[in-house]
Amino acid sequence: MDQSKVGAMILHLRRQCGMTQREVAEKLSISDKTVSKWERGLGCPDISLLRELSHILGVNIETLLSGESMINERDMGNMKRTRFYVCPECMNIISSSGNAEISCCGKRLSSLMAQENSDSHRLEISEVEDELYITSGHEMKKEHFISFVAGMNFKLCKCIFS
């Protein structure tokens, strides 16, 4: 961990948030001299302060400590690049339209892989009163079910089977 990079990141993020060293220090219940020391690369935040500091500055702890922010290229929200994530703890479904580091319930999530519809997983999609109705001839069991379906139109669907 490079203290000067971490300090430069804290300085950049603090200014981006429109905060003074004193305001950051007050939120952390520390002195503004400590924040100044970090920003000059003469020290790093104590581990007990990292969670709150990352929350105040609006970044994750890894970005804060690496001293580098990763900027995604604009992808214009292309559905073909959409990635889906499901939290194994709370079953939240999260999507992103580009590369992202997603975490939920304290765990980093990996994107799910869409599966091609095989004959045994063939889905029938019909429109019923302006809504899509999806059925399958496959027997759904507790250990084998469709978690969710994402689609752009009737022709293209991404199915996530669990």
Report pLDDT digits (tens) over 45-85: 999 999 999 899 888 888 888 877 766 566 555 666 778 88
Residue 12: pLDDT over 70: yes
Residue 154: pLDDT over 50: no
Separation CA 99–CA 96 (nearest Å): 7
Q: What is the rounded (10 degree) CA torsion for 40, 43, 46, 49?
A: 0
Model pTM score: 0.52
Neighbours of 26 (CB within 10 A): 14
